[in-house]
Amino acid sequence: MIIGVGIDVAEIDRFDDALRRTPGMADRLFVERELWLPSGERRGTASLAARFAAKEALAKSLGAPGGLRWTDAEILTEPTGRPRLSVRGTVAVCADRLGVRGLHVSLSHDAGVASAVVIAEG
């Protein structure tokens, strides 16, 4: 059963400007593993913007409650390249309360826009 669906978009250049203007913003939005590629290189802005959109979409799929911490949701990359959501803390409590047993995420970025869709399944 689908409990909720969320979608969000982020303009990549605008997101890049926000990261440059606001020191520490990336550390407030992302856990360390999200900031780096498996190769050890820092993840690009388009990829980070898609992850930000995924966190927004996740909140929407849960009914957009207040009090969720950005770093309580993590977008992991499986060896196949498929993104996967991992939740803990405030996000896990909210998902449990709603009866969420699975989360599905899709990310994309093209033509200056990053987007994400999240489906919360019960």
**Residues in the annotated binding site for Mg(2+):** 8, 56
Q: Which tokens hold the place of 110?
A: 């093209």
The answer to whether the CB of 114 falls within 8 A of the CB of 108 is yes
CA end-to-end distance (rounded Å), the chain:
5
Pick from 65, 56, 48, 46: which is nearest to 109 by CA? 46
Binding residues: 8, 56
Sign of the C-alpha dihedral computed for residues 17, 22, 26 and 28 taken in this order: negative
